[in-house]
Amino acid sequence: MVEIRLTDTLTRGKVDLAPIDPTDVRMYLCGPTVYDRAHLGNARPVVVFDVLYRLLRYVYGADHVSYVRNFTDVDDKINARAAAIGRPIREITDETIGWYHADMDALGALRPSLRGEVTPAAEPRATDYIAQMIAMIQELIADRHAYVAEGHVLFDVRSFPAYGRLSGRSVDDMIAGARVEVAPFKRDSMDFVLWKPSDATTPGWESPWGRGRPGWHIECSAMASALLGDSFDIHAGGIDLQFPHHENELAQSRCAYPDADFARIWLHNEMLQVEGKKMSKSLGNFFTVRDLLDQGVAGAVIRYVFLMTHYRKPMDWTADKVREGRRTLADYAAQTRTVAPADQIAPGLIEALADDLNTSEYLRLLKEFSKTGRYRDLKAGLEFIGLSRTDTGSAILDEPDMPDDVRNARRDYARVRAAVWHDIAGDHPPDPVQPGDESVAAYQAAICQLVRDAARHLGVQERVISSFDTDSTLTRQLALAADQADIPGLIDQRRRARQDKDYALADALRVKIAELGIELRDTAAGTVWRGVQD
RNA sequence: GGCGGGUUGGCGGAGAGGUUACGCAGCGGAUUGCAAAUCCGUGUAGACCGGUUCGAUUCCGGUACCCGCCUCCA
């Protein structure tokens, strides 16, 4: 059995993972508040802890791992959004959840599951757990860890002596440094809201304290306990959530279930920066995952860039890294295209991940496999960590929430693009089909256009090109194009010239072929050609 | 103001109290008619100042700068 070591925020050191129940290893990750597209910073924990999820599934078996990631779908930001754009809350949250799935799928993140079963239950919505939250709050009040004041229910931080331990703060220090105005009904300025009243225009649920809605922190506590039990193995999230969110979760849950641990191990990933600066709207370096995908940065490249840096170090997003990731993955794709993955994942790879998710070491090993010709190990390693590509080079970009026939058309488009245009992983032209206007016909037209462009590139006569239409098969059109340009004939001519040592002619032919957008390589197995990008 | 993270060679980025990290780029060479690819070789890096030590980039203290949380844009 592989020993997994992780850095636990609570004890501030590396600990061995010793699952409470090895037949059901349980992990919770705080998910998004659903009111807008996920930005790049939101994606880092998802990718990082997806790697841990994959490791756990490998070590304990996929059916022996439960991974829960919630959706916060009740929140004042959502309310504000709904009011601002005049749309129903449920519509906004549903739409945002769809986006989130599409974007995280594109990054190769596996869907959460309960004992290996991918189910909506593994991605709970806060609004489906209001009853559990109310029950938990009642428990806290009964045990004098919470009190009611002016329609609010507040958690009494002084009732939990360990409050502040997770984030390394003392209540007294925080009060001394506090700059916030304290609501008059709080007993202690650090007390936080478990339940707050709603007015007629705000979403609310009936409760013993009147119509109201939950505070943010109680949501995660209630959902984690309901789905993973009062004690579970791992609680993960961004370091920005360490305080107050996780501190408060921990306090509530420990007080509500005094005999349980809540999470045994707390994991936190460090923050993302962009070109050395904090990502913010005011600096103009704020962008979403979807923005990057639309710009042609493949999900696999984004994932690769994330994994270059250890999860507990601040990570800088730069154009240079994107270039490096793109090139590396392109090399790997070429090397692994025709080989089968190794039956067993190389032990060194697992050891690297088991040592506190050393993804940097993992990628170093992949590079070593690539250099030493261990392509089957390379392929298995790429697949294991979610960096493999299908032969279309873009399956990772497929949107799972579109109709099947449209998705197929889109996949065809990607396949054609990869075949006739260029062969560079992670690189694709902007989608010619506008979002919202996606249809089978639109993609067929785009495919036809692509083939025409490619044929023109190969020097095919316009008369022939104009006969291309969306009904012809791609194979026929390409054969026609290749015939017209007679690439094989030119290559053969050049081969004979080289045999005759007529290098002047050979070079002239190379130039002629290059003008058609074709690059030649003389290899041991003969001359091969491929299209090059302008 | 309080708490926490970071600072490694041109760029990216690890581990380890003493031995080459590694990758990319660069440079030199080999090979190839040329080109591409490939192969070999090549870097006295560790923000700054002190301390501990036989020895520190690695431990401790301080300084500077960057970032985060404390203020529900992660």
Alpha-carbon distance of A424 to A332, in angstroms, equals 11
pLDDT digits (tens, 9 = 90+) for A238-289: 988 998 999 999 999 999 999 999 999 999 998 888 877 778 777 777 888 9
pLDDT digits (tens, 9 = 90+) for A163-213: 988 988 878 777 665 555 667 788 888 899 999 999 888 899 999 999 999
Residue A143: how many other CB atoms lie within 10 Å: 12
Covered bases, chain B (protein CB within 7 Å): 1-7, 11-15, 21-24, 32-37, 39, 66-74
Alpha-carbon distance of A45 to A60, in angstroms, equals 22
Query: Do the beta carbons of residue A425 and residue A298 sit within 8 Å?
Result: yes
Spatial distance from the CA of A464 to the C1' of B53 (Å):
81
Give the DSSP per-residue string, A335-390.
HHTTSPPPSS--HHHHHHHHBT--HHHHHHHHHHHHHHT-HHHHHHHHHHTT----
Residue A209's pLDDT is 94
Cis peptide before A244 (omega within 30 of 0): yes
Residue A294's pLDDT is 77
The upper half-sphere exposure of residue A521, i.e. CA atoms within 13 Å in the direction of its Cβ, equals 8
Residue A493's pLDDT is 80
**Band of pLDDT at residue A454, cut at 50, 70 and 90:** low
Spatial distance from the CA of A321 to the C1' of B24 (Å):
10
pLDDT digits (tens, 9 = 90+) for A344-373: 999 889 999 998 999 988 998 898 888 888
Please give the share of chain A, as a percent, with pLDDT higher than 90: 40
Residue A402's pLDDT is 45
Alpha-carbon distance of A516 to A510, in angstroms, equals 10
Phi, psi of A77 (to 5 degrees): -65, -40
Mean pLDDT calculated for residue range A75-81 = 89
Pairs from A526-529 (Cβ < 8 Å, separation ≥ 24): A527/A491, A527/A494, A527/A495, A529/A487, A529/A491
Alpha-carbon distance of A3 to A348, in angstroms, equals 13
Closest residue, by C-alpha, to the C1' of B25: A324
Spatial distance from the CA of A504 to the C1' of B30 (Å):
26
Residue A529's pLDDT is 60
* DSSP H stretches of helix in A147-283: 171-177, 216-228, 247-256
Spatial distance from the CA of A70 to the C1' of B21 (Å):
40
- Residue A467 confidence (pLDDT) above 90: no
A134 versus A14: which is more confidently predicted? A134
- The DSSP output letter for A243 is I
- Residue A43 confidence (pLDDT) above 50: yes
Residue A50's pLDDT is 95
pLDDT mean across residues, chain A: 81
Alpha-carbon distance of A245 to A75, in angstroms, equals 14
State both tokens at A169: 């703060």
**Band of pLDDT at residue A426, cut at 50, 70 and 90:** very low
**Band of pLDDT at residue A485, cut at 50, 70 and 90:** low
Query: Do the beta carbons of residue A246 and residue A235 sit within 8 Å?
Result: yes
Residue A331's pLDDT is 77
Closest residue, by C-alpha, to the C1' of B7: A314
* Among A216, A190, A191, A214, residue whose Cα is nearest residue A203: A214
Spatial distance from the CA of A280 to the C1' of B63 (Å):
29
Pairing relation of β-strands A231-238 and A25-29? parallel
Alpha-carbon distance of A57 to A70, in angstroms, equals 20
Mean pLDDT calculated for residue range A513-523 = 65
* Proximity of residue A364 CB to strand B below 7 A: yes
Alpha-carbon distance of A36 to A484, in angstroms, equals 50
Cβ burial, residue A172 (10 Å; 0-12/13-18/19+): exposed
**Band of pLDDT at residue A482, cut at 50, 70 and 90:** low
A447 versus A321: which is more confidently predicted? A321
Residue A214's pLDDT is 95
**Band of pLDDT at residue A83, cut at 50, 70 and 90:** confident
Alpha-carbon distance of A270 to A436, in angstroms, equals 36
Query: Do the beta carbons of residue A217 and residue A171 sit within 8 Å?
Result: no
Q: Which of residues 279-298 of A touch strand B (CB under 7 A)?
A: 279-282
Report helix, strand or coil for A8: strand
- Residue A400 confidence (pLDDT) above 50: no
Complex ipTM, two decimals?
Answer: 0.85
Q: Which of residues 13-32 of A touch strand B (CB under 7 A)?
A: 32
Please give the share of chain A, as a percent, with pLDDT higher than 70: 75
Mean pLDDT calculated for residue range A295-310 = 87
Mean pLDDT calculated for residue range A421-425 = 36
Spatial distance from the CA of A368 to the C1' of B31 (Å):
23
* Proximity of residue A165 CB to strand B below 7 A: no
Q: Taking the mean position of all CA atoms in its chain, how far away is CA A287?
A: 15
- Residue A430 confidence (pLDDT) above 50: no
Q: Is the pTM of this model over 0.90?
A: no
* Proximity of residue A178 CB to strand B below 7 A: yes
Q: Which helix (H) or strand (E) holds A95?
A: helix A89-106
